[in-house]
Structure 1
Amino acid sequence: MTTAPRSRRTGAALAALIALVFAAAAARVLLGTPVVPIDKALAVLMGQQVPGISFIVMDSRLPATVVAILAGTALGLSGTIFQTLLRNPLASPDVIGVTLGASTGAVVAMTVFGATGPALFWAALLGGLATAALILLVAGAGRPGAGAAGAAGAVDNRFVLVGIGVGAALSSLISYLLTRIPTQSAGDVMHWLIGSLSSATWERAAVLALALGVLVPVLAVLVAQLRILQLGDDMATGLGLSVARTRVGLIAVGVALCALTVAVTGPLSFVAFLAGPLARMIAGRPSFPLAAALGAAIVLLADVVGQNAFSGTALPAGVITGALGAPFLLWMLTRTPTSRQGR
């Protein structure tokens, strides 16, 4: 497919996804118990006080809707960074252990230090960064010869395999910590670990909005360098690109997007994993705008389904995304060798 038709296809898909996000946002605000009439919801959004409805819309459903959109956007971008950088569709933060690293940092902060609020965000961020650094170290990204084309591919694959192993160890650590705290606290942590928007507030939405406001412009600058990096480390070095600095910058942005989202919503399983490959299928190449829109749509639709599809029971969004992601992961494993991604 030539560049012009591909661009038109990507633009049309992006417009359709944005429309889907708006429709899902309206459904998330209006549907539920009780159902909010459209005219009353619009009145509240225009600043009027409608008894009962104002609280439901402005303090409950709308913050959850905004957090869902922001969290999905961040996870879609984070997953695409790792998948494109490592040339592997399995290299999303929730598969390679970065999400579990952020979760472990937050769980340690909650269970050992009783942290809440900003301290929880910093703990998740440090946990994610430490996990990414450990995986890079063990995978041998800094070994001599890692910049060669074949060696770079080997490092990329080792990164995924080492990440899965580190993630398993972190999962065991979380399980151990849960046995060492009171039952009520363990229940709260377990609910958070599922991934939920039930505790969404305007303050948490502001944290995610600020993170995206800072990190997206940085990512926009790095994306051009990422395209050069995809040519291979030796070629990129020959073109004057600082390969190590670019890799570190991209990984830091990807980890920050993932970790801050985990701190706000808990680990929303497979959102980062789903968005990138789906965007690539639509666009024919990695597409950060499509991945961001797909991530927002996935989280928002998962929350709408979880809140309304099961009579009398509200399921966290993380349960729905996990149910979607697991079969998609199996399909990806059987569809194509991982080494072909990005080539």
Structure 2
Amino acid sequence: MTATAEAAVKPRTVVLAAAFALAAVVLALVSLSLGTTKLPLDEVLRALVGGGDSGTRLIVVELRMPRVATGLLVGIAFAVSGALLQTLSRNPLASPDIIGVNSGASAAAVGVIVLAGTGGGNISGAAEQIGLPLAAVLGGLLATLIVGLLSIQRGVVDASKVVLIGVGVAAAANSLVAWLLVIGDVTDAGRAAAWLAGSLNARTWSDAVPVGLAVALLLPVAMMFGRELEALVLGDDVASSLGVRVSRVRLALLVVATVLAAMATAGAGPIAFVALVAPQVAQRLARTDRPPLLTTAMLGALFVTLADLVARNGLQVLQVGPYELPVGVVTAAAGAPYLLHLIGRQQKGR
């Protein structure tokens, strides 16, 4: 990409990122106002700055805000993870839920939920706050390591094999999850099954904080590699000729992508297709050679917030009943057709 092209692209990506961020904030405020108890937006705003009555502050700050904050942060983490993986592999189908990262994280997290509960009481308190995210990160890293090792050809990771091998690793991890659900206590298995659907229901600040820390630490790190990502889009040989240490950069960004996806999975379960769809939509809207990280992050936050708003209120609006859907059901319904579209484009060689 020429310097002129870069200068032309940057304002567009900034404007898109700002627009997506603003839309996500507006939807978050709407989400805070809707629920069993509907609140006017002015009361929500007063509660957020410490005003209003104690009942409103309890509903907004303690009950609804953790869920909304977790959704925003999880959307950012999944979207950035997908953007990094798609850039590193130069494959639009490479996302943590396709290549096994989420499945590995899920298997490890379900193991903690089921085995800890069966072995000595339900996991809770510090054990849940530390054990679940740590297990998810380790499980995601292990799945990534397996995919990477099996994709190596002539000493280099073959990007064309990553997705195919990742699908196999994901299938193996999902089989492990099914086995854990079978052997676990009914109560623990029920908790794990609800979590596996990808849900923001009953999220607390203990769910939001670990994801927030991961985003605050790793998003700036990923953005520091902007020059290297631009070079990697052109191919490993070109990137090396431009002075990029391809193996080290790929390893570092692979770890960043895996930890982001694993922490998001620990926070809200394996919410499907956010990491696949957000980077591709952001790239097409921004008209860039790769998914722009900040624009993708804000679109991911918007996507999950909108999906959660639909999951919470969609059935009530349709007068089907006072039920909530897991947010993962909504993102899967929106993302599955886009996955088929991407597969069709690849088969046509576009």
Q: TM-score, normalised by structure 1?
A: 0.92
Counterpart of 1:317, as a letter, is V
Q: 2-side partners of 1:246 and 1:6: how far apart?
A: 24
1:88 and 1:339 in contact (8 A); partners too: no
Q: 1-side partners of 2:242 and 2:47: how far apart?
A: 55
SS in 2 for 1:292: helix
Indicate the larger mover: 283-292 or 50-59: 50-59
Q: 2-side partners of 1:234 and 1:42: how far apart?
A: 53
Q: Which residue of 1 aligns with 2:309?
A: 304
Q: 2-side partners of 1:292 and 1:4: how far apart?
A: 21
Q: Which residue of 1 aligns with 2:142?
A: 130
Q: Deviations over 1:14-68 (max 9, x none)?
A: 2221221111011110112110122322232221352432211011111111111
Q: Which residue of 2 aligns with 1:314?
A: 324
Deviation at 1:199, TM superposition (A): 2.9
The answer to whether structure 1 residue 335 and structure 2 residue 319 are counterparts is no
Taking the TM superposition and a 5 Å limit, the aligned residue runs for 1:1-343 are 2-48=5-51, 50-114=53-117, 115=123, 116-140=128-152, 143-144=154-155, 146=156, 155-285=158-288, 286-311=291-316, 312-337=322-347
Q: Deviations over 1:198-243 (max 9, x none)?
A: 1321232221221112111211222321222222222322333221
2:78 and 2:261 in contact (8 A); partners too: yes
Name the % identity: 39
Q: Deviations over 1:183-206 (max 9, x none)?
A: 221111000001111132123222
Q: Quick one: structure 1 residues 220 and 231, their matched pair in 2 at CA, closer, same or farther if it must change by over 3 Å?
A: same
2:87 and 2:232 in contact (8 A); partners too: no
* 5+ residue gaps, structure 1: 147-151
Aligned Cα RMSD in Å?
Answer: 1.8
Q: 1-side partners of 2:10 and 2:135: how far apart?
A: 40
Q: Deviations over 1:156-180 (max 9, x none)?
A: 1211100001101111110111000
Would you identify which runs of 4 or more consecutive aligned residues in structure 1 move more than 6 Å? Answer: none
Q: Deviations over 1:136-174 (max 9, x none)?
A: 111115x33x3xxxxx6xx11211100001101111110
Q: TM-score, normalised by structure 2?
A: 0.90
Q: Which residue of 2 aligns with 1:149?
A: none
SS in 2 for 1:36: coil
Q: 2-side partners of 1:309 and 1:329: how far apart?
A: 23
SS in 1 for 2:315: coil
Counterpart of 2:103, as a letter, is L
Q: 2-side partners of 1:247 and 1:324: how far apart?
A: 30
Counterpart of 1:288, as a letter, is L
* 5+ residue gaps, structure 2: 118-122, 317-321
Deviation at 1:314, TM superposition (A): 1.0
SS in 2 for 1:95: coil
SS in 2 for 1:310: helix
